[in-house]
């Protein structure tokens, strides 16, 4: 589908009652707004000088807005949310997946809401034009605040000498498939912006009109023209261009702000209040502007308390009706899409260089390259550098460690991939979701292989702190957290040279995980159930095993077993009290207090918890403790415990 210009060359004017929009045909049959003779009431330099002289007065006026006007604005904004729920239909597009066309709305900037020029993705996942990120930058704080989510990011990424680079894949798509009229319109608009920045508004208007002559409809051009005409004192032309901007994109707050500025200069305070209020409601205006316009309206006319309520209702009615009319006109425009040709785009342009497959949950790093989120997380287990250009990815590495691997997805890139390759992407998504559901059952059922951490011996209900630094175990911990199973097995090594482990172990539950700045993690785990290894294998470098859970056998003589528990518990406590004070304090500090109540009912699988507490504390070899772990008779464990722990003579 080709680029579409506005369906009719009209200009719109809203009357003071807000009842309708009347359309005024342009003086020329072309799509451009004709450049009027530049004879404002003042010369440009005089006009700008006069405006500069009044800046302080205007700022003081904004700062001293009456509390009455502020409360009125807050009430009107709340009422607008009820009367005018926001559902953005201002950029109609063919939402059905297609490989031969790309809706231009998918390439829209989160700030200016036009198609992006040199798209840059921030760490939050939202993309903006490079020039928009530069305008959003706070040079004093050295940050960039995303206009969409209000999250602040470093202006210069960690390890970089300059700002963020444009997204390479999106740049390639725009370079290959951007129509000539769209490129020319962007070039002329940028030239006009350069002249406007130096206050040369006459020359800026020449370039803005050339941008319109290309036939490509860009609401940003009309917004900039409105600003230029206002600076030159041509308020009528400023208003007409601001209204045309709102017709092209009624959900863009800045367009309504431009309308408010023009109405304010024309002393139409009611219309200015309505426009500023709508800009504020859409998320881009300033409260001071609305309050100042409302104060001007209240001071120009003496309103009683009853009249004030009528005035608020009138402003709200004007705001709602004008917005609905703008939205109706915008919805009547045909969809705007980038034509991709009969063959569409090459799927290879959207491949991840790490897995060589279609990007899934793409993350764009500061150097402009994109990777699957899981692939990038695995890369960080080994190196914090881009595998394509070797740029430092310290910023993304910190985000990865602080959020357990959940780096923000590039929203724009993912939407484009879903549109162009919907079937393949949905297949990958289905496989991903099914895998997560399957892995979430790890450690709960015997159906799924259990990841095995080969390190030490642990027991049910006992705490086991771990320091994770090996890449394979970083991957294991991350998968346990991401799948929400939070479980893995712990086994003692049998032969470290052969990397084998014993046949019995304990399922551990991750109760807390804390990342260090260099990617290591401090993990606190608690033992849950014992298991026996049935079959060994490996997955991505770490051991996994099919297991069988162990449960204690039912003792036929429960009464004598209860008596034995009392006897052994007293025996073990005497052993503990007989230890040197320093040794006893070290044990209690490492393991907390022993469970005191021997009459607690035994757990369903592993017997009383105090038995495992003493097994964990007693000074014997790992092989001796392994006998307790594999034993499924509580009576036998009590007998072994009494034999091993000697009492002082």
Between CA 224 and CA 205 the distance in angstroms is 9
Say if residue 398 is in the same domain as residue 521: no
Which of 382, 413, 434 terminates a domain? The answer is 434
- Among 564, 569, 384, 404, smallest CA distance to 474 is for 404
Between CA 459 and CA 591 the distance in angstroms is 12
Asked whether the beta carbons of 423 and 417 are under 8 A apart, the reply is: no
Say if residue 577 is in the same domain as residue 469: no
Residue 162 within a domain: no
Share of the chain above pLDDT 70, in %: 82
pLDDT(107) > 90: no
Say if residue 287 is in the same domain as residue 353: no
Residue 240 within a domain: yes
Q: Give the residue carrying structure tokens 């369903």.
A: 604
pTM, whole model, 2 decimals? 0.74
Say what the alpha-carbon torsion angle 476, 477, 480, 482 is, to the nearest 10 degrees.
-110
Residue 336 within a domain: no
Residue 342 within a domain: no
Q: How many domains does the chain have?
A: 4
Between CA 72 and CA 311 the distance in angstroms is 10
Sign of CA dihedral 316, 317, 323, 327: positive
pLDDT in tens, 603-649: 568 888 899 999 998 888 888 899 999 999 999 999 999 998 887 65
pLDDT in tens, 45-67: 333 333 333 433 443 344 445 66
pLDDT at 550: 94
Between CA 474 and CA 523 the distance in angstroms is 11
Residue 450, strand partner residues:
545
- Among 130, 176, 139, smallest CA distance to 368 is for 130
Say if residue 370 is in the same domain as residue 512: no
- Among 481, 503, 504, smallest CA distance to 401 is for 481
Say if residue 186 is in the same domain as residue 258: yes
pLDDT in tens, 389-419: 999 888 788 777 765 557 899 999 999 999 9
Q: What is the mean pLDDT of residues 268-277?
A: 87
Residue 132 within a domain: yes
Say if residue 485 is in the same domain as residue 601: no
Residue 169 within a domain: no
Count the residues in the chain. Answer: 649
Residue 247, strand partner residues:
none
Contacts 24+ apart (CB under 8 A), 34-39: 34/209, 35/205, 35/206, 35/209, 36/234, 36/237, 38/202, 38/205, 38/232, 38/234
Say if residue 142 is in the same domain as residue 246: yes
Residue 325 within a domain: yes
Say if residue 278 is in the same domain as residue 213: yes
Q: What is the mean pLDDT of residues 553-578?
A: 88
Say what the alpha-carbon torsion angle 282, 288, 290, 294 is, to the nearest 10 degrees.
170
CATH number of the domain enclosing 531? 2.30.130.40
pLDDT in tens, 491-504: 999 876 667 899 99
Sign of CA dihedral 366, 368, 371, 375: negative
Say if residue 504 is in the same domain as residue 581: no
Which of 385, 406, 434 terminates a domain? The answer is 434
Poorest-pLDDT segment among 114-128, 248-262, 334-348, 355-369? 334-348
CATH number of the domain enclosing 291? 1.25.40.10
pLDDT at 6: 38
Say if residue 253 is in the same domain as residue 298: yes
pLDDT at 403: 55
Asked whether the beta carbons of 148 and 110 are under 8 A apart, the reply is: yes
Which of 392, 410, 434 terminates a domain? The answer is 434
Say if residue 183 is in the same domain as residue 304: yes
| Structural domain boundaries enclosing 425 | 347-434
- Among 68, 2, 173, 121, smallest CA distance to 412 is for 121
User: Could you tell me the maximum CA-CA distance found in the chain, to the nearest angstrom?
Assistant: 114
pLDDT(143) > 50: yes
Q: Give the residue carrying structure tokens 């607690």.
A: 600
520 or 90, which is more confident? 520
The string over 446-457, giving b where at least 16 C-beta atoms fall within 10 Å of a residue's C-beta and e elsewhere, is: eebbbbbbbeeb
Q: Please list, in sequence order, all residues whose beta carbon lies within 8 angstroms of the beta carbon of residue 150, skipping any fewer than 6 positions away.
A: none
- Coil, strand or helix at 467: strand
Residue 337 within a domain: no
Say if residue 502 is in the same domain as residue 567: no
Q: Give the residue carrying structure tokens 């320093």.
A: 582
């Amino acid at each position: 589908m080709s680029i579409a210009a506005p369906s009719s060359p009209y200009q719109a004017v809203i009357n003071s009652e807000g009842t309708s929009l009347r359309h005024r045909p342009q003086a020329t049959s072309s799509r451009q707004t004709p450049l009027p003779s530049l004879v404002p009431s003042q010369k440009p330099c005089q006009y700008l000088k006069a405006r500069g002289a009044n800046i302080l007065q205007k700022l003081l006026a904004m700062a001293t807005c009456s509390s009455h006007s502020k409360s009125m604005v807050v009430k009107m904004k709340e009422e607008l949310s009820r009367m005018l729920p926001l559902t953005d239909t201002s950029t109609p597009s063919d939402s059905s997946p297609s490989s031969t066309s790309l809706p231009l709305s998918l390439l829209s900037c989160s700030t200016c809401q036009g198609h992006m020029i040199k798209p840059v993705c921030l760490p939050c996942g939202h993309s903006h034009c490079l020039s928009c990120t530069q305008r959003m930058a706070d040079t004093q704080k050295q940050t960039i605040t995303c206009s969409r989510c209000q999250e602040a990011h470093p202006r210069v990424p960690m390890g970089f000498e300059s700002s963020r680079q444009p997204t390479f894949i999106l740049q390639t798509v725009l370079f290959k498939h951007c129509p000539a009229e769209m490129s020319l319109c962007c070039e002329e608009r940028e030239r006009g912006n350069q002249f406007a920045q130096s206050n040369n508004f006459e020359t800026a208007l020449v370039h803005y009109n050339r941008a319109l002559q290309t036939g490509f409809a860009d609401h940003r051009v009309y917004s900039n023209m409105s600003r230029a005409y206002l600076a030159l004192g041509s308020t009528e032309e400023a208003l007409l261009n601001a209204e045309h901007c709102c017709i092209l994109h009624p959900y863009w707050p800045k367009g309504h702000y431009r309308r408010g500025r023009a109405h304010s200069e024309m002393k139409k305070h009611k219309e200015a209040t309505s426009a500023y209020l709508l800009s504020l409601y859409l998320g881009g205006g300033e409260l001071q502007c609305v309050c100042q316009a409302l104060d001007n309206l209240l001071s120009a006319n003496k309103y009683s308390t009853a009249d004030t309520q009528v005035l608020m209702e009138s402003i709200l009615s004007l705001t709602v009706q004008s917005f609905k009319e703008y939205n109706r006109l915008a919805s009547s425009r045909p969809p705007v899409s980038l034509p991709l040709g009969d063959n569409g785009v090459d799927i290879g342009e959207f491949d991840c260089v790490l897995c060589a497959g279609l990007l899934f949950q793409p993350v764009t790093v500061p150097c402009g390259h994109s990777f699957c989120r899981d692939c990038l997380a695995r890369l960080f287990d080994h190196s914090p550098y881009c595998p394509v250009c070797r740029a430092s990815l310290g910023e993304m590495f910190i985000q990865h460690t602080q959020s357990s691997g959940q780096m923000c997805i590039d929203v724009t890139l993912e939407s484009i991939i879903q549109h162009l390759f919907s079937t393949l992407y949905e297949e990958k998504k289905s496989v991903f979701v099914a895998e997560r559901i399957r892995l979430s059952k790890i450690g709960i059922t015997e159906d799924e292989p259990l990841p095995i951490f080969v390190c030490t011996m642990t027991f049910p209900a006992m705490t086991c702190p771990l320091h994770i630094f090996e890449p394979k175990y970083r991957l294991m911990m991350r998968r346990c957290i991401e799948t929400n199973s939070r479980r893995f097995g712990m086994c003692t090594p049998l032969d470290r040279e052969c990397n084998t482990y014993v046949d019995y172990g304990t399922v551990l539950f991750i109760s807390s995980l804390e990342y260090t700045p260099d990617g290591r993690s401090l993990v606190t785990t608690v033992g849950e159930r014992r298991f026996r290894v049935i079959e060994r294998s490996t997955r991505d470098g770490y051991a996994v095993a099919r297991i069988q859970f162990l449960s204690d056998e039912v003792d036929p003589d429960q009464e004598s077993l209860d008596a034995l528990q009392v006897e052994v518990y007293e025996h073990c406590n005497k052993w503990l009290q007989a230890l040197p004070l320093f040794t006893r304090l070290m044990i209690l500090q490492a393991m907390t207090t022993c469970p005191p109540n021997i009459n607690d009912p035994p757990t369903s699988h592993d017997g009383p918890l105090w038995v495992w507490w003493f097994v964990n504390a007693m000074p014997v070899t790992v092989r001796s403790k392994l006998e307790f772990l594999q034993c499924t008779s509580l009576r036998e464990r009590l007998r072994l415990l009494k034999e091993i722990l000697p009492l002082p003579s």
